Chains A and B, each alone.
Chain A
Amino acid sequence: MDFDDSPDEAAYRARVRELLEQHSGDLLRLAPGQENVDAGTHEDALRRTQRVLADAGLVGVTWPREYGGQGGTLVQQSIVSQELARARVPVLINHIGIGMCGPTVITHGSQDQRDRYLARLLRADDVWCQLFSEPASGSDLAALRTTAVRDGDDWVVNGQKVWTTLAHVADHGILLTRTDPERPKHAGLTMFVVDMHAPGVTVRPLRQMGGQADFNEVFFDDVRIPDGERLGEPGEGWRVALTTLMNERVAIGGAGGSIGLPVEAFVQHARDRLPTLGPERQALARQAIGRAVVAALGARYTGYRRLTVLSQGGIPGPESSAGKLAGTAAARLVADAGVRLLGDDAVYAATGDGDDRWQRTQSWLPGIAIAGGTDQVLRNIIGERVLGLPPEPRNDKTAPFSGGRP
């Protein structure tokens, strides 16, 4: 057992720091107190930042070399992530492409697709989004209704997607469609790569409860997709989507990363704010602080265990769902305690001097408990695939999708 860098890891970390220093003038940096930047208003700077990092070999660390990656380990990836955070570089604009779309293209795409897309994705020449959820199919993703109908060498797509992060700046997306409504719901799906600039694609930003607009609804009206943009065989879309979803849960809190503000930032906040409270309030606040820190450390060290297994060749399994579940719960305790420490300002959307970090975090965490598998879906996955409990009886898995609808 050992939490320090091995000599190889230490050398790698030093090299990463050196590269970040070397390119520091070309990278977008977060201001003090700022946790992220809006992709819409900072698109050019974010794309440039990712391009510089990609050219320095710091993007797609775990991707195979033949697709423009570094062929590195998950531990190396986590070192790069730590050093990017330390250097105050914002989350990469193409994080969805790198974490979810790219791995799906690698696993299920044709050689032609890999050649055309992957290197450009890593350099943020193209930004990617993931077009899965629909107004009538969220947790029950396989109930989706967007159709793709074969027409000569093309497929013609009609329907609507929703909650699509980054669609407003994206160039490509992976799109899950129904191609055979006469087959059972999971068997009639097909995945495509779609050009977000194609005629018939309309993107409309959605405003979230906290006021930001990170995600969108996307409409498809007779959008033509060449058959060469298919990912996997017709009818194999569910299997392809599972690749994406599993990568998503690893990306969100699955392997050592934290959700929400890091516990160190929280502790610094507590250090600043505790003395402003009266003695009785301080004692109560310390209970909330302690509870949040214990939960955050529990999630962090459980992530380290998973990272150890993955770095020794293990494959991401349903345990990653537990990482997201516990990470989300910890993030909520941290945000709640962070807001409470603001005293009277806790009931406002920002402090008197304009600091809204804790209130903002508080207002987007409800979304984290929904995105990429709701807490309840994750509990089903863990219950059935880790603990081996029986599933709920279902009558929607075998009937033709077209006849299964009321």
Chain B
Amino acid sequence: MNFDLDDDQRDIAAGARDFFRGQASPAAARAALEGGRLEPGRKALADIGFLGITVPESAGGAGRTLLDLAVVAEQGGAVLAAPSLVTAARAAVLLSAEPELAAQLADGSTAFAVLDGSPDGSAPSVDAADATTFLALDGGDLVVGEGEAVPGRPLDATRGLASVRLTSRRVLVPDAGELWARARQVAAVVMAAEDLGGADRCVQLGVDYAQEREAFGRRIGSYQAVKHMLVDAWVGVEQLRSLVWWAAWAADSAPAELPLAASAAKACAAAVFDEAAGTLIQVHGGIGFTWEHDAHLFWRRAKVDRLLLGDEAEHLDAVARLAVAGALGR
């Protein structure tokens, strides 16, 4: 039994934290709502190698584990970085037999997005708004093609959501249902990891403010009504961290556990990030409700992410079905 990050993964996390703090911020997420560019952007993520973490070395990637990628994704989530490593991880699974395309994913030369729903008019899909090449499931086959992206008015601009209609398509893998399902589970794990970073940051910011702000003659963090909200959010973050690590580990080392673990992590993320972001606003009072404050940017991400790649109810249902069917191994 050893359920902790190793020294290498801790180093990866520290490096990713430095990179993301330098290259992205909630301020950039706010600017993106008013037409600003996404930070750090695809090129910077490709240059530092984050788009190819799980792409095989033979295809120009780092050939590392999903757990390594999840550790990086957490740091990106903490500053609301975009585009999402969800797309990189999901596309890497789908392109596992396509080294040329995988190389373009890893080096950032092609802007990929993976479509949820029908290729003839997809559901709002992550990073689709400014992608040029789309991966989709078309009648059971994995296809790649170009398309027309129609973004809605963004609630969280960093997710780059758009509905897409493919204008060309080429079959990459016929009868790709299993591959597609696995890629979606991997995507759910990485989104849960980004949400973990966001939720953790919300708790930190809330604690920092409760340490400073005074009301009725003392710091508000001393009131149990405030303290206990922050503690509940923190306890939730710790449960989520455990499920994210487990799910990422399962993707690498125990594939049979991935469906259950991925749904558990995604369902937990939906609830935990929403609670943490709501707590962040509440602890700040009126200032937390302003456009200038960062709190709403985390709240926006939480409100959007909880519905993407399957909402909480869908994943709770999956957990129940899988558990009852015998998926609880250990």
Q: Is B317's CB within 8 Å of the partner chain A? A: yes
Indicate if the CB atoms of A389 and B227 lie closer than 8 Å: yes
> Which residue from chain A places its CB closest to the CB of B1 in the assembled complex?
A75
1/0 per residue, CB under 8 A from B, across A30-62: the answer is 000000000000000000000000000000000
* Nearest CB in chain A: distance from B310 CB, A: 12
Residues in B with CB closer than 8 Å to A4 are 1
Indicate if the CB atoms of B268 and A298 lie closer than 8 Å: yes
Q: Is A387's CB within 8 Å of the partner chain B? A: yes
> Which residue from chain B places its CB closest to the CB of A286 in the assembled complex?
B320
Indicate if the CB atoms of B218 and A393 lie closer than 8 Å: yes
Residues in A with CB closer than 8 Å to B240 are 298
CB contact between A290 and one of B203, B234, B239, B318 (< 8 Å): that residue: B318
Indicate if the CB atoms of B242 and A305 lie closer than 8 Å: yes
Indicate if the CB atoms of A290 and B3 lie closer than 8 Å: no
Indicate if the CB atoms of B222 and A290 lie closer than 8 Å: no
Indicate if the CB atoms of A393 and B222 lie closer than 8 Å: yes
Q: Is B228's CB within 8 Å of the partner chain A? A: yes
Indicate if the CB atoms of A294 and B232 lie closer than 8 Å: no
Contact residues, A360-385 vs B (CB, 8 A): 376, 379-380, 382-384
Q: Is A399's CB within 8 Å of the partner chain B? A: no
* Nearest CB in chain A: distance from B309 CB, A: 16
Indicate if the CB atoms of B231 and A383 lie closer than 8 Å: yes
* Nearest CB in chain A: distance from B141 CB, A: 31
Q: Is B210's CB within 8 Å of the partner chain A? A: yes
Indicate if the CB atoms of A299 and B239 lie closer than 8 Å: yes
Indicate if the CB atoms of B324 and A289 lie closer than 8 Å: yes
Indicate if the CB atoms of A388 and B211 lie closer than 8 Å: yes
Q: Is B170's CB within 8 Å of the partner chain A? A: no
Query: How far is B247's CA from A3's CA once the two chains are assembled, in angstroms?
Result: 13
Query: How far is B238's CA from A165's CA once the two chains are assembled, in angstroms?
Result: 31
> Which residue from chain B places its CB closest to the CB of A325 in the assembled complex?
B235
Indicate if the CB atoms of A301 and B323 lie closer than 8 Å: no
Indicate if the CB atoms of A270 and B323 lie closer than 8 Å: yes
Q: How large is the interface on A (under 10, 10 to 19, 20 to 34, 35 or more residues)?
A: 35 or more
Q: A290-B315, A297-B243, A298-B242 are in contact. Are A382 and B222 (CB under 8 A)?
A: no
Residues in B with CB closer than 8 Å to A386 are 234
Residues in B with CB closer than 8 Å to A295 are 239
Query: How far is B244's CA from A302's CA once the two chains are assembled, in angstroms?
Result: 11
> Which residue from chain B places its CB closest to the CB of A329 in the assembled complex?
B235
CB contact between A3 and one of B3, B211, B222, B235 (< 8 Å): that residue: B3
Query: How far is B322's CA from A293's CA once the two chains are assembled, in angstroms?
Result: 11
Indicate if the CB atoms of A308 and B4 lie closer than 8 Å: yes
Sort A-B residue pairs by CB-CB distance and give the 8 closest, nearest first. Answer: A290-B316, A298-B239, A301-B242, A389-B221, A286-B320, A383-B227, A289-B320, A290-B319
Contact residues, A384-400 vs B (CB, 8 A): 384, 386-393
Query: How far is B312's CA from A294's CA once the two chains are assembled, in angstroms?
Result: 11
Indicate if the CB atoms of B1 and A294 lie closer than 8 Å: no
Q: Is B186's CB within 8 Å of the partner chain A? A: no
Q: A264-B328, A286-B320, A379-B228 are in contact. Are A298 and B207 (CB under 8 A)?
A: no
Indicate if the CB atoms of B319 and A390 lie closer than 8 Å: no
Contact residues, A280-327 vs B (CB, 8 A): 283, 285-287, 289-291, 293-295, 297-299, 301-302, 304-305, 307-309, 311, 322, 325-326
Indicate if the CB atoms of B264 and A294 lie closer than 8 Å: yes
Query: How far is B4's CA from A307's CA once the two chains are assembled, in angstroms?
Result: 10
> Which residue from chain B places its CB closest to the CB of A390 in the assembled complex?
B222
Query: How far is B232's CA from A392's CA once the two chains are assembled, in angstroms?
Result: 18
Indicate if the CB atoms of B1 and A3 lie closer than 8 Å: yes
Query: How far is B328's CA from A311's CA once the two chains are assembled, in angstroms?
Result: 25
Query: How far is B222's CA from A298's CA once the two chains are assembled, in angstroms?
Result: 28
1/0 per residue, CB under 8 A from B, across A113-132: the answer is 00000000000000000000
